[in-house]
Structure 1
Amino acid sequence: MNSGDLAWVLVSAALVWVMTPGLALFYGGLGERRNLLHTMFIPVMIIGIASLVWFVVGYTLSFGGSGNVIGNFKHLFLTNVSFTHSTKGLTIPDGAFALFQGMFPIITAAIITGSVIGRVRIKALLVFIALWLIFIYSPLAHMVWGGGFLAQLGAIDFAGGTVVHISSGVTGLVLALMIGHRHIDKHIPVRPSYVLIGGALLWVGWFGFNSGSALAANGTAVLALVNTWLASAAAVLTWGLVEYKYHGRATLSGITSGGVAGLVAITPAAGFVAPWAAVVMGLLAGFIGFAGITFVKNSFGYDDTLDAFGIHGIGGAVGAILTGVFADKSVGGVAGLINGDVSLVGKQLVAILFTIVFAAIGTYVLAKITEFIAAPLRLTADEEAEGYDAIMHDLTVE
């Protein structure tokens, strides 16, 4: 075991954990006033749910065994997980690996809530999230990172373009379509300062999210951190420019969202591309992210409340494709289109399409099961108008 590698992975795990409270603030600032506290409450609740699901069954289904689709039950309740040595050929113990990976389902599940917050019942949402983590997230993590069939296919995902962002974005979109539009279509961001503070926590946490995925304090970790920094910075600029061109102004909430869009896009590529490619990906991500929450959303008419699909679903897919384009064997060990291997783009497309179909069908089925065992998904028109802050948190709209 290497103490330096272990220290970096432990710090990275803590940084990824911080992302969920950061997302709570970010969503709270973007959301509606009548649901301000509730919007922040739900991600914090998910910290509890997702952590225990991971401890009980999520880790073993994701990283136990060598199945093509799903793991086994060898590590239920983290049994047979060593905290002193590695069975995976790493320089950190299996317990540290399980800890770091356990932070990812928390933020992934929290992202989903942005699509439907304020019009879905809390009981139904929390039951759905628990089921989703078991039946959607865990198989995807196994197929991509646990030696399953997408890994065997040769698709690459450094830190979660498919597993985290496409899956959560598509899930949010399907739930939004199933639940329907808000009864009260009035969305005025509450506090841009919350967006900035939450976005900053996401940003800092993302350095651990991507760089920590190297699972060692090495050159790949440095490359991933540099690429994360550059891509997010580039996306701020293009988002701001496009927003100014489209609306006649650039906003604090907008350019912060642009930074997040850049972070999403670079996630699958962080350890595989050269810094110049990260800048190009960031520039494209700012433009595409803005287009996703405006032109795409308006054209298709779905009600993705806080744009989880527009930023994470679309951004994750774009990032995964561009990973296939820009992957550089000289820096990341995998050759993409620019290195003459066009096949990687095809493998990435297969992984993207599979993730979309798997998440969409699985979400629909689990939502129907949730309605049967828990409660209707949708709030009534009167409940939605009153808002969850008044219904549950004993607060009224100012």
Structure 2
Amino acid sequence: MVLATSLVMLMTPGLAFFYGGLGNKKNILNIMMQSFVSLGLTTILWFTFGYSLCFSGTVAEGTDFFGILENFDKAFLNGITHDTIMPGKAFPEYVFFAYQMMFAIITPSLITGAFINRVTFKSYVFFLIFWQIFVYYPFVHMIWGGGILQEWGVLDFAGGIVVHATAGFAALVATIYVGKRKEGAHKPNNIPLVAIGTALLWFGWYGFNAGSELDMNGITVSAFINTDVSASFAAITWLLIEWNTGAKKPTFIGLMTGAVAGLATITPAAGYVTVGTACIIGILAAVVCYFAVEFKNYMKWDDALDVWGVHGMGGVFGTILMGLVASHAINPSIQDGVLLGGDWSLFGEEITALILAIVWASAFTWVTLIIINRFTKVKVSEEVERAGLDIHMHGEIARVI
């Protein structure tokens, strides 16, 4: 679990490199800093009260707030020491605290790729804090912390709903709110940097998915291999689609984007499906996410780094597939999905949870940006956008050779 925690931590710098390489050369440091600052801010929030709001009570015991948020009993790690063993597990609760903290760190960072070049750093800091407290924490508790959706039977192995669906649709709403970039779309400034970011994300995703079993057993191994298989099949499928459409060329960016789409899509189902099913999920992930990005382009939504198309739709599609192809033989704690002979209850629960997550994350994001804008400007001026956020907001520039 310590290794899995370390791997998930590595994903946030990986995301920074991924976004930094894809971004405009005048805004590399700004977009990377938005990821790195979450490492510090989220850790502070998680230690002071975030962990407690997610994991200090259950709806079954009547010790939480209507099954939506927990209480403050574990604020500042109250009552927990280095010797406190995680209930039902063979490792200290400190490790679980740290593991879940890494998820909290990367989730709001995913959103930043959508509004690159257009948002002030101060407004982003406020957004990160409020979005975590009122979107991420409630869904963590409701689905993973003994809340109302978990009690109802909703499953999400490693974050298809909690992480990718909420962040993806928040990204889309934020994009629409801040509007289009003045200089329009741009080409990636550093593809090797994107490759480094992809490698770190892919590597870290083993901890993200396999670690979510919170144990070492056959389900852990299934989640591990399913993660790699889905990413691999998705990467090659995306490459082939791109090769035969549009520019008719296989691009490195396409290959890497496909891999991330496969990783995001397998996440909710990683510990619930067979390896063969993971292959199919990877292929379908590339198809769905590729055409989601094409649809975004058709709609002229300026989601700069395709957060909605890859993470949002990947998380949604993976969750839907899980309700269809989940296997009791792989994970005895669940029932079979619809296509394997199960009834429609699991599928219905997943769809309901998805709708709730999409609606709440979207609505809260829109309202929050409006409120923040009343106190400090959310969108940068046209002058700052054209000059670049790195030098104007941070007084630094990334020297790209």
TM-score by length of 1: 0.95
| In 1, Cα distance between equivalents of 2:360 and 2:87 | 27
Higher mean displacement: 383-392 or 320-329: 383-392
Listed as ranges, the matches of 1:296-307 within 5 Å are 296-307=295-306
| In 2, Cα distance between equivalents of 1:61 and 1:39 | 29
| In 1, Cα distance between equivalents of 2:88 and 2:168 | 33
Gaps of 5+ in 1: 1-8
Partner of 2:61: none
| 1:57 alignment partner, SS class | helix
Query: How far is 1:81 from its partner?
Result: 2.4
Conservation of the 8 A alpha-carbon contact between 2:114 and 2:306: yes
Listed as ranges, the matches of 1:7-22 within 5 Å are 9-22=1-14
Paired letter, 2:364: G
Conservation of the 8 A alpha-carbon contact between 2:25 and 2:398: no
Higher mean displacement: 152-161 or 202-211: 152-161
Partner of 2:385: 384
Are residue 38 (structure 1) and residue 30 (structure 2) matched?
A: yes
| In 1, Cα distance between equivalents of 2:357 and 2:87 | 25
Partner of 2:225: 226
Cα separation, partners in 2 of 1:372 and 1:64, compared to 1, 3 Å: farther
Q: Return structure 1 stretches of 4+ with deviation > 4 angstroms.
A: none
Listed as ranges, the matches of 1:56-205 within 5 Å are 56-66=48-58, 67=64, 68-86=67-85, 88-205=87-204
Are residue 360 (structure 1) and residue 362 (structure 2) matched?
A: yes
Deviation digits for residues 303-362 of structure 1, max 9, x if unmatched? 101111111111100000001111000111222113322221111111110100110111
Partner of 1:25: 17
Deviation digits for residues 45-102 of structure 1, max 9, x if unmatched? 1111111111111111111111311111001111122432335322222211111111
Q: How many percent identity over aligned positions?
A: 38
Paired letter, 1:291: F
| In 2, Cα distance between equivalents of 1:233 and 1:353 | 29
Are residue 50 (structure 1) and residue 42 (structure 2) matched?
A: yes
Are residue 347 (structure 1) and residue 346 (structure 2) matched?
A: no
Query: How far is 1:397 from its partner?
Result: 8.6
| In 1, Cα distance between equivalents of 2:300 and 2:84 | 52
Partner of 2:325: 326
| In 2, Cα distance between equivalents of 1:87 and 1:267 | 24
| In 2, Cα distance between equivalents of 1:233 and 1:393 | 40
| 1:27 alignment partner, SS class | helix
| In 2, Cα distance between equivalents of 1:172 and 1:259 | 20
Deviation digits for residues 103-132 of structure 1, max 9, x if unmatched? 001111110101112100000011110111
Partner of 2:239: 240
Conservation of the 8 A alpha-carbon contact between 1:34 and 1:397: no
Are residue 265 (structure 1) and residue 257 (structure 2) matched?
A: no
| In 2, Cα distance between equivalents of 1:13 and 1:26 | 20
Paired letter, 1:197: I
Deviation digits for residues 347-383 of structure 1, max 9, x if unmatched? 111111010011011112222232234x111011111
Paired letter, 1:394: E
| 1:331 alignment partner, SS class | coil
| In 2, Cα distance between equivalents of 1:98 and 1:395 | 36
Query: How far is 1:394 from its partner?
Result: 3.2
Conservation of the 8 A alpha-carbon contact between 1:22 and 1:200: yes
Conservation of the 8 A alpha-carbon contact between 2:274 and 2:330: yes
Partner of 2:207: 208
Conservation of the 8 A alpha-carbon contact between 2:86 and 2:96: no
TM-score by length of 2: 0.94
Higher mean displacement: 60-69 or 138-147: 60-69
Conservation of the 8 A alpha-carbon contact between 1:37 and 1:393: no
Query: How far is 1:37 from its partner?
Result: 2.1
| In 2, Cα distance between equivalents of 1:82 and 1:259 | 39
| 1:378 alignment partner, SS class | coil
Query: How far is 1:289 from its partner?
Result: 1.6
Paired letter, 2:272: F
Deviation digits for residues 149-199 of structure 1, max 9, x if unmatched? 111221110000000001111111111111111111031111111111100
Conservation of the 8 A alpha-carbon contact between 1:57 and 1:134: no
Structure with the higher helix share, 1 or 2: 1
| In 2, Cα distance between equivalents of 1:11 and 1:54 | 20
Are residue 338 (structure 1) and residue 330 (structure 2) matched?
A: no
Aligned residues: 388
Aligned-residue RMSD, C-alpha: 1.4
| In 2, Cα distance between equivalents of 1:238 and 1:396 | 34
Conservation of the 8 A alpha-carbon contact between 1:161 and 1:267: yes
Query: How far is 1:396 from its partner?
Result: 8.0
Deviation digits for residues 269-327 of structure 1, max 9, x if unmatched? 01011111101000001111211222x10232211011111111111000000011110
